[in-house]
Amino acid sequence: MIPPLILPDPSSTKPSVWVKICGLRDLDSARTVSRLGLAAIGLNFYQKSSRFVDDATAQAIVRGLAPDIRVVGVFVNATLDELRERVSAIPLDAVQFHGDETAAEIAAFHAACPETAIVLVLRFGSAGLRPGLERLQELEALQIPVSACLIDAQVAGSYGGTGAVVPWQRLREELAAARLPPIILAGGLHPGNVAEAIQVVQPQGVDVASGVETSPGVKDADRVVAFLAACRSASSVET
């Protein structure tokens, strides 16, 4: 049985909203942010990304993390062999499918790595949640468990990391009429807007990369602290 990816946090010093810092690619940044109270990090294995991390660096980052931090591998249209190699080489708690992977390809991964949680990325564009819901229905028909859905803004020609913001109010309205796994909200979040995003969308988790960086992959500790503080403040407000 796959353990839940998003767990309630009993510590009063952390935000009740699950927080993932994505796109870490250097050991110093990882060591710094891992001490600040986040729930998870994302390691990007898409070679065309400015936040790509190689296996040796990823292994060093994971070794330096606090033991309660979950590790999510981010992949775009990777082959099954590539996925198995990464899961074998690096202790990933989850694989985030951030490309155009078919239900059959995700099913093949689940068959090969049944203990690794699956995060499915839904890009929210003019068609809203409809394309994502269709993908989820295909996976449900194959009895593939999806631990969480990460919702990012759809930008033509990009697989993410653009800083584009999802239309929060429209997303909230569509979520109210849909049956989905736990939601992780991404897309242009930063310390100045994440509290409002949480209050409007009410996701179970949030994901940030560029919003807490000084350059791609290099996280700024002060921005991470401010981001987590904003998440805490939003979590304490009743909506």
- Residue 1: per-residue pLDDT: 46
108-148 pLDDT per residue, tens: 999 999 999 999 999 998 888 999 999 999 999 999 999 99
Indicate the pLDDT class of residue 10, thresholds 50, 70 and 90: very low
Domain 18-235: CATH architecture, name and number where available: Alpha-Beta Barrel (3.20)
Helix/strand/coil (H/E/C) assignment for every residue in the chain: CCCCCCCCCCCCCCCCCEEEEECCCCHHHHHHHHCCCCCEEEEECCCCCCCECCHHHHHHHHHCCCCCCEEEEEECCCCHHHHHHHHHHCCCCEEEECCCCCHHHHHHHHHHCCCCEEEEEEEEECCECHHHHHHHHHHHHCCCCCCEEEEEECCCCCCCCCCCCCCHHHHHHHHHCCCCCCEEECCCCCCCCHHHHHHHHCCCEEEECHHHEEECCEECHHHHHHHHHHHHHHHCCCC
pTM above 0.75, yes or no: yes
Residue boundaries of the structural domains of the chain:
18-235
pLDDT score for 179 = 87
